[in-house]
Amino acid sequence: MIRIYRYGEVPNSEIFKRSEETADVHAAVQEIVQSVRNGGDEALLAYCERFDGTRPEPLEVTEEMFRNALDEVGEEFAGLLKRAAVNIRAYHSMQKRDGFEIRKEDGSVLGQKILPIEKVGIYVPGGTAAYPSTVLMNAIPAKIAGCGEVVMVSPPTYQGRIHPAILAAAYVAGVDRVLQIGGAQAVAALAYGTQSVPKVDKIVGPGNVFVAEAKRQVFGQVAIDMIAGPSEILVVADSASDPVIVAADMLSQAEHDKNASAVLVTDSMKLAQAVAGELEKQIPILPRHEIAGTSIERNGKIIVADDIRQAVAIANEIAPEHLELCVDDPFALLEEVRHAGSVFLGRYCPEAMGDYYAGPNHTLPTMGTARFSSALSVDDFVKKTQYLYYTEEALKNAAQDVYDFAQREGLGGHAKSAMIRIDREVKI
């Protein structure tokens, strides 16, 4: 049964705490990463056989395999992927930025170039469910950014191969290469390169605790997007909300993972009790009822606030991955939202709309990191290069200031390099 709290009657440390199954994965992942770094393909394939039960053959997906996957998913699902991709491209195309240049009267030029990352690796989970939506959400922004090569990895856990829905999505998204590998060993292969796997510059995409730990360990060798935790949803709902719908929305994330977090914050004890009852009704009929039930038992909670504005303030404290504002005028509350990965406004915008179809990205900050992190975007697939040019006149105008600043920091070589161009006898 989900717990119901009155805000202020229980310490926040109790209300906001989360339970999570943890395992000491650091040492295990460190061994895998080092083995693949040193042993290349042979070590990679040995781990694939150990963890996925197969040595993928071929390692890299062929054109024929793409065609077979499209045939297997059928025209209807392929069409759905294409419609979702249109929405995702339209949204992310608006994020593309140009560089800038400043030209001053003294002839100096200052600017910034926006350059795509050359090689990007995308991790797409396999296991208990296939997520073609993850392919679209990660690959499409990378292609819009202009990345030279987008390499996808996913474990061959569907009849000894990658799930056809994932391959079909990769085809629709324009992924350049797909390799049938997963787990920490795939992250290591992307980070360091093997005989068959190209070394990339950045790795993005979600995964289990071993994948997350591998991304953490290779960070610095390559860039990463974020360390993603279990899924989260927080629903702010007023007394006029439908408890059936609120419960369904909470379960839409609880079914992801036993460690997922589903929270309702409301101004109505009556609604809180009704939603608690609805959860008990709806959990048993879900296909993933065991996962959803464990998630609700472990991390689910209902918080009763004094009013809706306090409910939004509570949401800001939690900083959830997904925030639903189930009220008649959600835009009136939107300005008060400070910390959330993605916000779903009104009574007709379920979180699932963002997962698959609407266009905004579903790769979002978790575990309270929405306080300082953002959704995956085109910005994650570009880098910024500065440039500057000074004429002789411009340098003469600025050299003394640069000299004085460098001397203040005790860096005589810096000072000399600025002044020597206009005074060969400069003293340091």
Pairing state between β 322-326 and 223-224? unpaired
Rounded to whole angstroms, how far apart are CA atoms 93 and 20? 37
Give how far Cα 133 sits from Cα of 137, 296, 330, Å. Answer: 6, 24, 27
Q: Which amino acid is at 116?
A: P
Query: Active-site residue among 322, 324, 351, 362?
Result: 322
Q: Phi, psi at residue 121, to the nearest 5°?
A: -105, 135
Give the residue from 369, 311, 303, 299 showing the smallest Cα distance to 11: 303
Rounded to whole angstroms, how far apart are CA atoms 37 and 43? 9
- Which two three-digit tokens encode residue 122? 């995308």
Pairing state between β 109-116 and 382-389? antiparallel
Q: Is 92 assigned a catalytic role? A: no
Query: Active-site residue among 232, 255, 278, 321?
Result: 321
344 forms beta bridges with 324
37 in Cβ contact with 199 (< 8 Å): no
103 in Cβ contact with 140 (< 8 Å): no
Rounded to whole angstroms, how far apart are CA atoms 217 and 222? 10
CA 217 to chain centre: 17
What would you report as the CA-atom Rg of the chain, rounded to the nearest whole angstrom?
A: 26
Q: Is 321 assigned a catalytic role? A: yes
Residues marked active site are found at: 321-322
